[in-house]
Structure formats: structure tokens, C-alpha cells
Chains A and B, each alone.
Chain A
């Protein structure tokens, strides 16, 4: 199948997903379940990578800015802006594409292959609405929250590394953080987070939902879904930067 057939079917899936739930209570339960799977389930990995990426950016920025003419507070500013603008949304979402995306694709793929999707369909349930919508909605709610957490922890990690390596004191770092702060950057970063959240949930859902074959194909489609999601994230990252900055 070529790109256009995939894309067309993907759009039809999104359209087919927009229908009235058969039973609001069960859909709500499924949504809550997905929120905890996607949000709470990724807390650990997001925390770890955020702290380290903040720490590394402090140390490397300091290493690159060797001129005595540049005040130390600049290091904090650079760390703040790179973490907020790029690292927190993009890097975290790339990792989440692996963590969350592969889970969504393999869960749906398994349900397809073992005919569980058919079983739901035969009961008179719109499986696109019941299985996919709660996942996308949960991702759109939880991933931006994870990105905000990543911003905070990333900057905190940078601050820790700055003092631990004797590069700059916490006071200097905090002072740098306040300089030239643009709230727009946070807004921009959240725009990215929403876009990426949609990509991370809908593309793997597409790959999983339409799996044909057996367990081998589930693995394959889960891998492709992660690769495609990552590429789409980077593409969207560029497009958003070109449009909004």
C-alpha cells in the first residue's frame, strides 16, 4: 500500500472515531484507565531523562561559553530556553513515542489478531470510538502535563549539576532564570506538546488497529508505528517552529 492509501485510511479512522459513546460510564472508565497507563506509567522515565538532560545541558553550555565577557547567568538562561523550547517537548515526546506508542500499537494489534476487536464490533460497539478515542484523549491530556513536569525537572537538574560541578552558584542560576523570561516560549512548547501527543497516540493506534496476520506482524507494526511517529514529531517540530517563532 502506498502513502496515500495509508493516509486516507488514517483520516477515515479519525473520522470514524467521532461518534456518540454507547455508554458514557464505560467510556469514562476506559479514559481514566488510559490516563493512568499513559500518564502515571511514564512518570519514571520522563523524570529520569528530564533531570539528566538539564544537567548535561548546564555542563556542556558552560564548557562552550569559556569567554570571561559572558556573565554566568547566561548559562542559566540558555539552559532554561533550550529545556523549555526543545528538550522538554521534543526529546520527551520522542521517548514517549517509544514507550506509549509501542504500547498502544501492540495492545490494539493483539486485540485485532485475537479477534477481540471483532467481538466488540459484533456486540454493536463502535470499536474506533471505544478503543481509540479514549487513548488519544488521554494522551492529549496527560502528555502536556508530562512536558511541564519535564521542564521543571530539567531546569532543576541543570541547577543541581551547576552547583555540583562548581560552575555557578544556585543564586546566580536563579538570577539567570529570571532574566529575559518569555512566557510565550512556554505557550509555544505546549503547542508542540499537544501536537506531539496527538501524533504519539493516533499513529500507533492506526498501526495497531489495522494489523493483519499474527504476533510477528504485531511486533513489526509496533516498530513501524514508533519510527513513523518519531519522524512525524521531528517534521511537526520543524513546521511549528517555522510557523510560530
Chain B
């Protein structure tokens, strides 16, 4: 569980986070959604300590993160996996070496067991046969998946994903969502995902934090979102007419005004 209170962060005169508080729950997919520039990436970076918040408190399972010593943070970080928005693969290393790097650095054991683990995670993100390629030789979506593989190779306790499925086709995107969700459940991780993908929100949104202009605007889960009366949220999520229709349909269905079987038969 990661709990943070009143996080404030500004860059020069620009206030990016204006007192955000929330609890990220263990064993659930915690989503941070919000339009581009609303401060999702900055919030995630504050949570892991890549940026120091100006104000506020952060605790990891009760441990105060803000006052932690560098040494202690280093230890904690060995239990954190992170996927960066731009993938951040090591471009001097092959795909295989990228994913193997955390294993080499923090685990003992022989090379073949490590390679086995590497191939296992690469298979889980649906990437096979690119082991010997360099990051510059694979597509953006593939880089994302290598980034995910690298983040989960040590099965971290806390997993941070900054837009894991931007730039992926809908099918691969679903696969990645499912994978993240599965491992979150399986290993009881605290997973935090930044996204603006509506499929992810509906499929895996256990605990959603909607941010607007650096503030918490709404929280709830994927079921609540359909019935939410929050105007900003509605405009953000159901941006297209198509989605608006879908939402209305669901609401009518819930109110018992239409029978879902009717729709299926038409």
C-alpha cells in the first residue's frame, strides 16, 4: 500500500501538483488518469523519488519515504519496478541484456537460469525472437514491452507503469493490461498505472484517480465511472459520441429500461 498526502510540486512558477492525496492499494491495479499535461508522470516520479515533492508525505506500507536515508531508499527501490513513458531502455545493450540487467545486478545464480527467466518474461509480453536486437532496431511498441519485461523480471513488490499501452495496437494493449493485472493479483503487488486508454480504465480499473490541473478531481472504480455525475470526468472519459452512446446504453440497461438481450438480438 502506498499512501500519499498533499503532494505539491512546482517547476519554477508553474504549479504542477497542487496537493494530491490518495491511497494506492495492494493487490489492485491503481490507475492514474487525466488529460495530457495534468501531472500524471510528475506524480509517479514524486512517488518513487525521482523528483522531490515540495510538500506532502508518502509512505510505503507504513514506511515514511520522504525522510528515508539514501541507503534505505536504495534498498526499497530494489523492490520497485518501473516502466518509463519513453521506455528508457539501455541502448548499448541488446533486448536480452536489458531484461537480464536487474538479474545480473541483484541476483546470484548461473547464466542459464537467468536466461530462462528472461525468456519467460519476454514470452509473457509476447515478444519472442528479438533477444539479440538492440533497442534502436525494434519498434516503439516493442520497446514498451521490453520495458515492461525489465520492470517485472524481479517480480517487484511495487510496480509503476507510465502509459504501458500507449503506442500499442488494441490487441497487444489488452494483452499487456491483462498481464499487468494478472501479475498484480498473483504476486499481490501494488501496481500504479498512468494511462489515458479507456479500454484499460474499463477492464482493469480497480482504483482510479482522476487528475485535473494537478488536483484530484474524482476517485472510484470502473463501475462507478459509468454512473459518475462529474462533468469533467465525463467529458474526459466519454470524449467521443460513440463512447457517450455506450455509456447511455449501460445506464439505461442498469436502470432496467432496456434488456441487454434485446440489443444482442438486433
Contact = CB atoms under 8 A, between A and B. Distances in A.
Interface of A: 22-23, 25-26, 110-111, 114-116, 118-119, 121-126
B140 interface: no
A176 B112 CA distance: 61
Contact of B105 (A23, A111, A114, A115): A23
B102 interface: yes
A127 B74 CA distance: 11
Contacts of A26: 104-105
A23 B88 CA distance: 22
| Chain B residues touching A, range | 20 to 34
B106 interface: yes
Q: Which of B50, B86, B102, B105 has the most CB of A within 10 A?
A: B105
B91 A114 contact: yes
A44 B104 CA distance: 34
Contacts, number: 53
B88 A118 contact: yes
28 contacts: A22-B105, A22-B106, A23-B105, A23-B106, A26-B104, A26-B105, A110-B91, A111-B90, A114-B88, A115-B86, A115-B88, A118-B88, A119-B82, A119-B88, A121-B50, A121-B77, A122-B48, A122-B80, A123-B77, A123-B78, A123-B80, A123-B101, A123-B106, A124-B74, A124-B75, A124-B76, A124-B78, A124-B80
Contact of B82 (A22, A25, A122): A122
Interface of B: 45, 48, 50, 74-78, 80, 82, 84, 86, 88-91, 101-102, 104-106
The 3 closest A-B pairs by CB, nearest first: A124-B77, A124-B78, A115-B88
B77 to A, nearest CB: 4
A126 B89 CA distance: 17
Given A114-B91, A116-B91, A123-B80, 4 more contacts: A23-B105, A23-B106, A111-B90, A123-B101
Nearest to A27: B105
B105 A123 contact: yes
B90 A116 contact: yes
Contacts of A122: 48, 50, 77, 80, 82
A141 to B, nearest CB: 21
A116 B105 contact: no
A124 B74 CA distance: 4
Contacts of B106: 22-23, 123-124
Q: Which of A114, A123, A126 has the most CB of B within 10 A?
A: A123
